[in-house]
Amino acid sequence: MREPVLLVIAHGSRDPRHAATVHALMRRVRAMRPGLRVETGFLDFTIPSVQGVLESLAAEGVRDVVALPLLLTRAFHAKADIPAVLRDAPRRLNIRQAEVLGPSPLLLSALERRLYEAGLTPADKSSTGVVLASAGSTDPEAIAVIAEIAREWRHTGWCAVRPAFASASLPRTEDAVRELRALGCSKVAVAPYVLAPGFLPDRIARGAAQADVLADVLGPAPEVARLLLRRYAEAAMRMPLSSRAAMSA
């Protein structure tokens, strides 16, 4: 039986670096799973749209799709926007919605990869404070997840780890950098907990001006690609959304 098409749903941005980074991640995913059909749709700003991709797949005769939110937390887009788009999909499609990527130990590995690529070494961990800088959200669940990730990451050997947010919530990146300086950390590093460049990641970068190290976005890190395929495999085993709706009717 043919395995479901993987439809990765990205947020989209006016910044062309965003789409370029998403496509680079998809190339890595395809390289890891050469036989898997991988499509990308965007919620806003960028084409193709999610709805357009779904309609094209249905017109081709595709039946089974795994829709995977390219998101790190379960905030508004995962809880409202994406389910709404999938409810309007062509009825012939059997769609399974995968979980968002985070939290996951693979993402922590990707964050550390980016920090080491930016100049840190494992020997620096005990003397380095890290700002876990995310885009931010008005969703309390998403904020709590970021704070918990920071607490867990601290136990892997860093001097300290503090969460920060580029929007909607506090503290800001620059405030967390100052706090880690005050704690006496010899170095301060900023690790953007974001997938692709754009307006908010640029704000994180500006807030990292007084840090010693600024890591790159997660982007097409191999750990992110592996996690994406893991979420796909988990969702492919579940019942399609259309079948669940029919059973509950």
Q: How confident is the model at residue 16 (pLDDT cuts 50, 70, 90)?
A: very high
Q: How confident is the model at residue 76 (pLDDT cuts 50, 70, 90)?
A: confident
pTM of this prediction? 0.93
Using a pLDDT cut of 90, give the percent of the chain over it: 88
Closest CA to 71 of 94, 88, 50, 48: 50
> Residue 78: what pLDDT?
77
- Work out the average pLDDT over 129-150: 94
- For the chain, what is the mean pLDDT? 94
> Residue 1: what pLDDT?
64
Q: Using CA atoms, how far apart are residues 74 and 80, in angstroms rounded to an integer?
A: 10
> Residue 240: what pLDDT?
78
Tokens standing for 138?
């008005």
Dihedral sign computed on CA atoms, order 89, 86, 108, 133? positive
Segment among 23-27, 45-49, 166-170, 212-216 with least mean pLDDT: 166-170
Instruction: Check if the beta carbon of residue 215 is closer than 8 Å to that of residue 191.
Output: yes
Alpha helices (H) along 39-104: 50-60, 76, 82-87
Choice between 137 and 133, residue whose per-residue pLDDT is larger: 133
Using a pLDDT cut of 70, give the percent of the chain over it: 96
- Work out the average pLDDT over 155-166: 97
| Ranges assigned E (strand) in the chain | 5-10, 38-42, 64-69, 94-97, 128-134, 160-165, 187-192, 213-214
